[in-house]
Structures are given as structure tokens and as C-alpha cells.
Amino acid sequence: MEFQILGIGILTWIVFLPILGMLIVLIVPDEKRDAIRWTAAAATGLQLLLSILLIALFDRSALGINDAASFQFIEQLSWIVVEAVPWVGRIEITYFLGIDGLSVLMVLLTALISFIGVVSSWKIEKMVKGYFALYLLLVTGMMGVFVALDFFLFFIFWEVMLLPMYFLIGIWGGPRREYAAIKFFIYTFFGGVLMLLVMLALYFSVSYTDPATGEQIHTFNLLHMMNSANFVEGSILYGLDTTWRYVAWIALFVSFAIKVPLFPFHTWLPDAHVEAPTPISVILAGVLLKLGTYGMLRVMYPILPDGTHYFMYLMAALGMISIIYGALCAMAQQDFKKLIAYSSISHMGIVMLGMASLTNQGTVGAVLQMFNHGTITAMLFLIVGVLYDRTHKRGLYDFGGIANQMPKYTGIAMIAMFAALGLPGLSGFVSELFSFLGAFDAFRWITIISVTGIILTAAYILWTVQRVFLGELSDEHKGLTDLTNRELLMFIPLAVIVIFLGIYPGPAIELMNASLSHLVEFVNGGVR
């Protein structure tokens, strides 16, 4: 499958449209704030349209994962080629993009959340130009990670996200923004260095034979790394179940787990969420966290399947702890935003648990949960943002009786809240069910304990509903206005998706099922 616009592949357009937008934003004079906003909206809007087109053209039966031929919308250009010298072979880094069932929904999610993020950034008045320039750079980084199939490229996109995020939290954030920004930065940079080391070790361990010349070429191509026959005998990561492979697995796992974030690497998240401005929280929860679990599925699972098997109980246990611990922490919060931050940790734990099971059901559930959590949590953060914009407060005890004053708002909020709670009929339920079902096959007790997390979730969500939306409306909140059209524009697409996938999750599952069952088969087969 190929699709080109003006001779350039659709994935390149999707990834680099925001950069194009960024360049325009940089040229537009400072005072023309609306022009800057509209540029950003146009760039992400076009990106969203292209992503929808991508879904429409997507071939649901293609496998992907480790098979270059069945990836779709492939673009492969040689980028860095250094000819061989006597003491080192040819060096090759490629610009290699492509999507399969694993990434297609993530691309849509990223485009959707990015666009909604722009809409919700409309009211930002502080250094508008800088804000949108960094925002668009961030979007390119996120999108790039989801479509890159060359480890080097993947890593560059991965790291490109860090600086814009640092500035977006650090300049436009709340009172403790500096602390939150540096904490986020250090944690993820540490993960990045670990990933870099593993990437280089893989690079020197893997070489494939060029079919044309018979030359041995070291490569960063992820698909070549997945083929165990390409590991050079005697290299550091050669073989199966060796100590170095386990070390590499742990290093990769930590670098991705920081992003997820999995207990015990999660402490940056509540700080970052609380201090970040609303749109950035939305991006963080909606897309950035998924990069961690996506990276595991894309890189760690197929390249180091032996480690994945060896450590699957560790992953499941950490998932379980995240679920319970996140929910317990959420119950203790008095800050609305912090509550949602901890609920994110809890929900990403479900993703981890489903993935760790290495069953088809669990993995499908996990990837669907990634998408659903992206949409639901984005809504939740927007909901806090709406209230914060109007009152500059987000304490759970500061409110009460909002339901009467803001009916539309409350309606939307209920959809999001109950979806987060896992109410049947809304999208969260389906993916959580699948994740737990898959996990139950693999590890019974861990799953049984994890499911109690659902009860805790119900408790803190219902309690929040009660404290914020029900009860007496205080006098100072009598003047609150309901959602504006701009705000409805952010909520409605998300709400529609949440309800639609709750009733009829089929289309989403179809998109990824072929690829994910192939992944599970490949990982399970890779060890035997």
C-alpha cells in the first residue's frame, strides 16, 4: 500500500506537517496571535484529516511487526551511508517509515489529541509564538516515534520530544513548574541514555547480508534486529537467554517504563501533570504515556523475546502494583488534577498487565486500552481545565453542585468519568475486560488482585462525582457559565469515540488484530 501527495509519502506528510506549521509560526510576527493559532490548528487539522484517510486506506489483514513486505505506506530512503573501510563495514542508517496494526490507531490518537490540544490552547496568551512553535515540534516528535521503523530514527524522534516538553511545562506551567519540568526531563533523559546504549549494542550485534553485493551491513533497521539469524556470532547480544540480553532487556524496559510510567518510575508524572498547562497535560496523558507501552511492543517484545518471556511475571507484577497503588493514591488526593494523574498510572498498569500476558486477547486489550485511555484521560484533563479556567481552583472540596449550574459540562464529564470507571457500554470497559481476560490466562493470582483495583477506581470516581458535581452549589459559583462552542468542539469528538467504541469496538479491534496476533505468535515462537 502506498499513497503519495506531491510525490511525498503520506506518512512523511503526517509527521512533518507540524514542522511546516512551526516554520510558518516562527515567521509570523509576534502580535498576530490569531494567525499563529490558526496556523497551528491548520497544521494539526490537516494532520488529523490525513490520519483519517490513512485509517480508511489501511489494509486490516496485513501483518506487519517483523515482516517488511506487509507494512503499509512504507517509505524507505537511505539517509546516512558511510562506505566500508578496512576495519569497519558499511554503515547504514535509513529513513524508514511504515505502519501496521500496532501503530495505526496510535497515529490516529496522536493526530486527534494534538488537534484537540491546539483548540484547548486557544486561550493561552503568554508568548503565543513560542508556545505553538514548541507545541508543533512536540507533535512531530510524538508522531515520528509511532511511524519510525529504524531504531536511530525512532530514537531521534523520541528525544526530540523532551526539550519542547521541558519548556512547555517549565514556562507555561503552574507555580512549581520548574521543579516539575526538570524532574520530567531528568527521568526521561535517563531513560533515553539507557535506550541509546542498548541501541548501540544491538547495532553492533546485528548485521544482515546485502542481497545485491553479499556485503555484511550493520544496520539500525528494527525489522532486521527482530530476525535472530542476523545476530553476529560472538557479538554481545548473540544467542538466547544470555546475561547480556537480559541486561539489555532490563535497560530497555526501564527506559520505556519511565515513560509509561510504571511503578516505581512514576514519580515524575503527578508533578508534571499538576504543573503543566491543561493542553500539555492532555498531550502527556493522551499520547506521551502510550509511547512507553508502544515502544515495548514495537522494540522490546520482538527484538528480545527471550527476555520478555523471562521477565513476564515482573512486568505483570509491576502492572499490578501500578493498578492498585495508582488507585489508592488517587483516592487520597484533594487536587482534581492530581487525582487524574494517579488514575493514569492505575490505568496504564492495566495496559502493562494485558501486554505482559503474551496472549492475543491481553495484547489486543492492552493496545485498545492505550487508545481508550488516551481519549478518556484527555477528556478528564480537559474537564479539569474547563473548571480551572473559570475559577482558578481545582481542589475537589472547592466545588459542589456544579451539575445544576453547568448541565452540558456535567453531561460530558459523566461520560468521561464513567468510561474511566469502566462502565459497560463505554469504551473503557471493553479494553479493560480484554486485558484482564488475557492476563487471567497467564497469571491467575496477579490478575485477581489487580481486578480489585477496579473497585478502588469506582470508589474514587464516584466520590469525585459526588464532591464536585452533586450537593450544594456555593454562592461564588453561581455565575459559572456552561461550555462554549470552542470547548464543545474539543469534547464532542472524544465523547463520540468513547461511546462508539463502548457499544461497537469491532472496527478498532479489526484494525489491530492481525498484527497483534502475529506479534504474540512471533514472541512466543521466538523463544522455542
Partner 1 sequence: MAENMNESIFRLLPEIFLTVTLVAAIVADLLLKKQNRHVAWVVLSGLALTAVLVWRQAGWNVSIFSDMLAVDPFAVFFKMLLLAAGVFIVLFSMKCRELGHNSMRIGEYYMLVTGMIFGMFLMVGATNLLLMYLAFELTSICAYVLAGFTRSLRKSAEASMKYIVFGAVSSGFLIYGISLLTGITGAVDIYGVRDVMQSGVGQPAALYVALTMIIAGFSYKITVMPFHFWAPDVYHGAPVTITTFLATASKIAGFAMMIRFFRVSFMDTNGMIQITSSVTESMQLAGQDMAVMEGGSGLIPWNAILALLAALTMLGANLMALWQENIKRLLAYSSVAHAGFILMGLALLTEEGISAMLIYLAIYLFMNMGAFFVVMLVTNSLGTEQISDYKGLGHRSPLIGVSMAIFLVALAGFPPTAGFIAKVYIFGATISAGWIWLVGVAGLSTVISLFYYIRVIRNMFLVEPPEYAEPLDVDRESIIILFLLLMPVLVWGVYFTPIITWAKDAVTMFGV
Binding residues vs partner 1 (CB under 8 A): 79-83, 85-88, 91, 155-156, 159-160, 162-163, 166-167, 170-171, 177-178, 181-182, 185-186, 189-190, 193-194, 196-197, 200-201, 203-204, 236, 244
Question: What's phi and psi for 64, nearest 5 deg?
Answer: 70, -140
- State which H helix or E strand residue 293 sits in: helix 289-295
Across 108-236, the runs of DSSP E, i.e. the strands, are 207-209, 216-219
Nearest distance, CB of residue 236 and partner 1, angstroms: 7
> Which residues are bridge partners to 77 per DSSP?
95
The nearest distance, CB 130 to partner 1, in angstroms, is 8
Residue 64 has which C-alpha cell? 506487519
Distance CA 272, CA 268 (A): 6
Q: Tell which residue, 344, 468, 463, 460, has the closest CA to residue 409.
A: 468
Report the residue number, 3 or 189, with the smaller CB distance to partner 1: 189
Nearer to partner 1, 237 or 396 (CB): 237
**Residue 242 burial class via C-beta count within 10 angstroms: exposed 0-12, middle 13-18, buried 19 and up:** middle
Give the single-character DSSP code of 238.
-
Cβ 30 to partner 1, closest distance in Å? 10
| Most distant CA pair in the chain, distance | 81
Of 195 and 417, which has the nearer Cβ to partner 1? Answer: 195
Count of beta carbons in the 10 Å neighbourhood of residue 12: 17
Strands of the sheet with 216-219, listed across from one edge: 72-82, 90-99, 216-219, 207-209
Contact 100, 70 (CB under 8 A): yes
Instruction: Please state the φ and ψ torsions of residue 206, each to the nearest 5 degrees.
Output: -110, 130
Measured from the CB of residue 33, what is the shortest distance to partner 1 in angstroms? 17
Cβ-based nearer residue to partner 1, 179 or 388: 179
Distance in Å, CB of 337 to partner 1, minimum: 20
Residue 207 Cβ, how far from partner 1 at the closest point, in Å? 12
Of 175 and 479, the one with the shorter C-beta distance to partner 1 is: 175
57 contacts 71 by C-beta, under 8 angstroms: no
Identify the three-state secondary structure at position 205. helix
Q: Considering beta carbons, is residue 171 or 470 the nearer one to partner 1?
A: 171
What type of residue sits at position 163?
L
CB nearer to partner 1: give 193 or 492. Answer: 193
Smallest distance from the beta carbon of 126 to partner 1, in angstroms?
11
Residue 320 and residue 349 in contact, taking contact as beta carbons nearer than 8 Å: yes
284 vs 387 by CB, closer to partner 1 = 284
The CB-of-294 to partner 1 minimum distance in angstroms stands at 19
Q: 84 or 496: whose CB is closer to partner 1?
A: 84
CB of 515 to partner 1, least distance (A): 28
Q: How far apart are CB 27 and partner 1 at their closest, in Å?
A: 14
CB of 314 to partner 1, least distance (A): 21
Q: Answer for the pair 175, 245: CB distance below 8 angstroms, yes or no.
A: no
Nearest to 406 by CA among 488, 491, 483, 487: 483
CB closer to partner 1 out of 170 and 302: 170
Strand partners, 207: 218
Q: Which is nearer to partner 1, 176 or 444 (CB)?
A: 176
> What does the alpha-carbon distance between residue 430 and residue 451 come to, in Å, rounded to a whole number?
14
The residue count of the chain comes to: 528
Q: What is the DSSP string of 31-87?
A: T-HHHHHHHHHHHHHHHHHHHHHHHHH--TT---TT-GGG-EEEEEEEEEEE--BTT
Instruction: Please give the Cα distance from 362 to 433 (Å, whole number).
Output: 9
Task: Pick the closer one to partner 1 by CB: 153 or 283.
Answer: 153
**At its nearest, how many Å lie between partner 1 and the CB of residue 170?**
4
